[in-house]
Structure 1
Amino acid sequence: MSPRSQGYLYVAITMCIWGGFTITSRLNAQWGISAWDITALRFALAFCILMPILLYKKDTAFLWKKQPFILAMIGGVAYCLTSYSAFHYVPAAHAAIFLNGCIPLCTALAGLVLFKQPLGKHIWISLVIMLSAITAMSFLMYQETGVAFGFGDMLFFLSAIWWGVFTVLLRQWKLSAWHSMAGVAIWSAIVYVPIYLLFLPKNLTAPEPAHLMLQVIFHGIFVVIVATLTYVEAIKRLGAFKTGSIVTLAPFMAAILAVPLLGEPLSLAIICGLIGMAIGALQPWRWIGHQDSLQQQLDQQKKQS
């Protein structure tokens, strides 16, 4: 299999997992699994898998640096609690709009605020499209329901801010995929699980055991470990822009699938928001004349030879 084909395979795996995150997180609300519970179980399982591997490899020195701890608190604990909680208030389509649709924007703004990284013209175009889509969506929602935004929407947007800051810090600190993934999972478990056991409400007896086990395995292994590694491998082969653009489609596809699978409504307001945020996040005009990283490497080799 060629490197390009491998890249698309890794992208497909990542898309399935990211899309599944949206569907299964909404199922958490329907199955009575609280955000407190799934966050604790997710990181506890990842800890039990990753910590023995790190000890066996004698690769634990990186854990004592401040970077993995900060990343865990932002992209691990804070992101999971707000995003999982939001699914208890609003349908899955809202996640595609206010979470995944806003992540590119929040990432760009986080880079500007934290490290003075300038906003390019493509970001400004996306900003105008996204704000227009949200304005139109809120107007239509207000006409339909009398409420423009819900509490869940605010939680999703807060989650997008957490993930934007996490992405910028991860890019700035240049941690490897393995260290960043393992550090986030392990420090999140070390900090959050004891707090959960001692102080936070638990509702582990209400859900069906099969439902609870399914969610823990999917979120603890596939979301935390597998998707992180496949996403980074796809970037190596296809480049960050092409990989990010394709993978961004997954939550929007999941929002559409949630209509028949979960029986969720799809109003004119939601359709307007989905289309506008998808265009703003994907930036399809940048695909014209864009080469992936593999093709750029081949062209560079030809010039040198």
Structure 2
Amino acid sequence: MQPQKQGYLYVLITMCIWGGFTLAARLSASWGISAWDLTALRFLLAFAILMPILIYKKDTAFLWKKEPFILAMLGGVIYCLSAYSAFHYAPAAHAAIFLNGCIPLCTAAAAYVLFQQAFDRHTWISLIIMLASIGAMSLLLYMQTGQAFGLGDLLFFISAVWWGIFTVLLRQWKLSAWHAMSGVAIWSAVIYVPVYLLFLPKHLSEPAPVHLIAQVLFHGIFVVIIATLTYIEAIKRLGAFKAGSIVTLAPFIAAILAVPLLHEPLSGAMVFGLIGMGIGALQPWRWLMHQDPLQRQIDRQKQQPD
């Protein structure tokens, strides 16, 4: 299989898992699985899988650096707790808008605050589109229900802020995909699981065992391990912009699928917000003008004389 086709295959796998994350997290809330429980079990399972591999490979020295620990606290523990908690208060469509839709904007803002990376023209256009979409959607929601936003929306946006900071630090520190994934999973388990066992409420007896096992397997293996590796491999073959743009579609597709699968309502205001935030996040005008770096390399080789 050609590298480009491999890249699209990895993108497809990542989209299925990321879209499934939105649906599965919403299902976990309806099944009575708390954010405290799911976060602990997710990282505990990932720790049990990854730590023996690192010990066998004698590749544990990187864990003692500050970077994996900080990334684990931001993109692991705090992000998971806020995101999983939000699904108890808001449906999947709200996650697509206030979490996934806001992640590119929060990432750009974090890059500016932490490393003084100025917004480019495309980011300003996205900012205007997103703010206009959220403003129009909130007005429509207020006219329909008397309330524009809720606690779930706030938690989703806070989650987007944490993930934006995590993304900028990960890019700045240039950790490999394997070290970043392993470090986040292991340090999250080491720090959070003891706190969970000693101090936090537990509701493991409330959900059905089959529901709890399914959620832990999906979030601990597919989300933490597989999706991270397939996403990085997709970036290697398609480039960060094209891979990231396509994968960003997954939560928006999941929001539409949640209507028939989870019987969640989708009002006209939410449809308007999904379209606007999707356009702002994907930046389709830039995607259409963007040429695949692999294709550019092929074109340059064709131009060289024999």
TM-score (norm 2): 0.98
* Deviations 1:155-182 (CA, angstroms, capped at 9, x unpaired): 0000000000000000000000000000
Residue 154 of structure 1 is matched in structure 2 by: 154
Structure 1 residue 288, shift from structure 2 partner: 2.8
Distance 1:301 1:57 in 2: 39
Distance 1:176 1:128 in 2: 34
Residue 194 of structure 2 is matched in structure 1 by: 194
**After the TM superposition, which residues 142-181 of structure 1 pair with which residues of structure 2 at under 5 Å, given as runs?**
142-181=142-181
Residue 27 of structure 1 is matched in structure 2 by: 27
Residue 212 of structure 2 is matched in structure 1 by: 212
Structure 1 residue 212, shift from structure 2 partner: 0.3
Secondary structure of 2:289's partner? coil
* Deviations 1:14-71 (CA, angstroms, capped at 9, x unpaired): 0000000000000011100000000000000000000000000000000000000000
Residue 75 of structure 1 is matched in structure 2 by: 75
Residue 229 of structure 1 is matched in structure 2 by: 229
Distance 1:217 1:116 in 2: 40
Structure 1 residue 304, shift from structure 2 partner: 5.4
Secondary structure of 1:288's partner? helix
Contact 2:100–2:248 (CA<8 Å) still a contact in 1? Answer: yes
Structure 1 residue 303, shift from structure 2 partner: 4.8
Structure 1 residue 287, shift from structure 2 partner: 2.2
Residue 291 of structure 2 is matched in structure 1 by: 291
Structure 1's consecutive aligned runs of 4 or more residues displaced over 6 angstroms after TM superposition are: none
Secondary structure of 1:204's partner? coil
* Deviations 1:186-244 (CA, angstroms, capped at 9, x unpaired): 00000000000000000000000000000000000000000000000000000011001
Amino acid of the structure 2 residue aligned with 1:141: L
Residue 105 of structure 2 is matched in structure 1 by: 105
* Deviations 1:123-172 (CA, angstroms, capped at 9, x unpaired): 00000000000001100111111111100000000000000000000000
Amino acid of the structure 1 residue aligned with 2:285: W
- Structural RMSD (CA): 0.8
Q: Identity rate of aligned residues, in percent?
A: 76
Residue 13 of structure 2 is matched in structure 1 by: 13
Residue 185 of structure 2 is matched in structure 1 by: 185
Contact 2:20–2:254 (CA<8 Å) still a contact in 1? Answer: yes
Residues paired across the two proteins, number: 305
Corresponding position: 1:128 with 2:128: yes
Corresponding position: 1:119 with 2:119: yes
Structure 1 residue 300, shift from structure 2 partner: 3.7
Residue 91 of structure 2 is matched in structure 1 by: 91
Structure 1 residue 296, shift from structure 2 partner: 2.3
Secondary structure of 2:205's partner? coil
Distance 2:54 2:292 in 1: 33
Secondary structure of 2:138's partner? helix
* Deviations 1:56-103 (CA, angstroms, capped at 9, x unpaired): 000000000000000000000010000000000011100000000000
Q: Which runs of 5+ in 1 are unaligned?
A: none
Amino acid of the structure 1 residue aligned with 2:75: G
Distance 1:51 1:149, change over 3 A: same
Structure 1 residue 282, shift from structure 2 partner: 0.5
Amino acid of the structure 2 residue aligned with 1:138: S
Distance 1:286 1:295 in 2: 17
Distance 2:27 2:288 in 1: 38
TM-score (norm 1): 0.99
Amino acid of the structure 2 residue aligned with 1:37: D
Distance 2:192 2:15 in 1: 28
Distance 2:45 2:90 in 1: 27
Q: Which runs of 5+ in 2 are unaligned?
A: none
